[in-house]
Each structure stands twice: as C-alpha cells, then as structure tokens.
Amino acid sequence: DIVMTQGALPNPVPSGESASITCQSSKSLLHSNGKTYLNWYLQRPGQSPQLLIYWMSTRASGVSDRFSGSGSGTDFTLKISSVEAEDVGVYYCQQFLEYRTFGGGTKLELK
Amino acid sequence: EVQLVESGGGLVQPGRSMKLSCAASGFTFSNYGMAWVRQAPTKGLEWVATISYDGSSTYYRDSVKGRFTISRDNAKSTLYLQMNSLRSEDTATYYCTRDNYRGFDYWGQGVMVTVSS
C-alpha cells in the first residue's frame, strides 16, 4: 500500500505570509500517461473537505490562485501565498494512483 | 448544483449492522464513480471504499474488506454502504463523495456512526 506522510507547519502563520506544506509518498505517483496522481484538500473547522489541487498542480474549479501545487514523483508541496483567515484548517494530501490514500493532515493556524 | 446527502447513521452495538445511504442530485449520477470516506473523532480522513460508475467494480480498504459493501442504484441516484460486524474502531463521520478521475470533487455533509454497547 502507498503510504502518504505529511510535514508540520510552524504554527501559527502570520497573516499575509506564505506557507508551504509538504507531502511524501512511499511510491512514485507518476503515471505512464504523464500525470502525477496527487491531490490536495482543505478541511475548514466544522466543514466537509474540499478539493483544492488535483494532478499535483491543477487548481480545482473556484480555488484561489494563492494555492499552488508542485513536486516530483514522490515529494510534493502545497504553497499558500499571503495566508488569510479563510485558509485556516487541516490540509490533506491524497494519492490517487493505487486505490486512494490520505496523508495524516497538516494543521494551519493563523497568527 | 451538486448535492450529496447522507443518511442512516446513529448508534449501533458492536457486531451489529448498519446501512448508510447517499442521495445525489445536480449531476448525472450514472456517469461517475462514487466513494465513502470516514473520519474518526479528532482524526484524519480515511478512504473506505469506491465503486465504479456502473457498479461493476468495487474497491475497499483492507480493514473493511469482507465486512462492508458499497453499492449503488443509478435509477435512484443513490449510493449505499452496508456495514456488517461493526467494531468500535468504525466509529466515525462517514462522508459520501464523488470519485472523479481528478479526485473527490464533491462531498456530502457527513453522517455520524457510533459503535458502542
């Protein structure tokens, strides 16, 4: 099974600063079709999760361009530029290559 | 507007069964795979099961294989999760989600399942 490991944030993050969340997979998520099957989600307090980024770097519909995804086959980063109050919550990475597996989550708190 | 509305949760004793439902609207249900994701209290997200658009293929996490069954009724635009031999570790909020090839792009509000004597 593919294991997803997420890094922690040096919370709290000052408003207006950028924040980067890391995620590592135990196996390359690069498919033979050229797509990397890594997604990012945000779960705000008391809400259901929402899809932010799919295929490692493509923003989902309606997602702010302050969110950007990057990485290689096994190491990934979600960058949030100019953090705002609405960005507070827990961020999850997820692999979509073999079944589906989530990372343990990374909490973002605002200063 | 896409809507996913779960129902059927509650309190159940260990070893008993429970069936969750998810009513979908706002999109052509029969064109999409669907999934269940759960979240134990204060814990992270955990994928449970996925079913293909036509129901011909199903996938489960190891800890629920042989106990849970995901199914769908495309005529009713409804997704199901039959849960048997429930354990305390199955206690969680269960989310219905659309399993698009791009990710889980729509989520329900979740339904709580508590397994306790």
For residue B76, the model assigns a pLDDT of 98
Q: Is B112 on the interface with A (CB under 8 A)?
A: no
Per-residue model confidence as pLDDT tens digits over B47-65: 999 999 999 999 999 999 9
- A64 pLDDT higher than 90: yes
Answer whether A48 sits within 8 Å of B107, measured CB to CB.
yes
Establish whether the linkage from the previous residue to A12 is cis, with ω within 30° of 0. yes
Where does the pLDDT of residue A10 fall: very low under 50, low under 70, confident under 90, or very high at 90 and above? Answer: confident
Q: Is B94 on the interface with A (CB under 8 A)?
A: no
For residue B69, the model assigns a pLDDT of 98
Q: Is B102 on the interface with A (CB under 8 A)?
A: yes
Per-residue model confidence as pLDDT tens digits over A35-54: 999 999 999 999 999 999 99
For residue B103, the model assigns a pLDDT of 94
Residue B17 corresponds to which tokens in the numbers above? Answer: 């069964």
Answer whether A99 sits within 8 Å of B47, measured CB to CB.
yes
- A11 pLDDT higher than 90: no
DSSP state of A21: E
Q: Which residues of chain B have pLDDT under 70?
A: none
Q: Which residues contact A93 (CB under 8 A, 6 or more apart)?
A: A4, A6, A21, A23, A38, A39, A40, A41, A76, A78, A102, A103
Distance CA A49, CA B78 (A): 21
For residue B115, the model assigns a pLDDT of 98
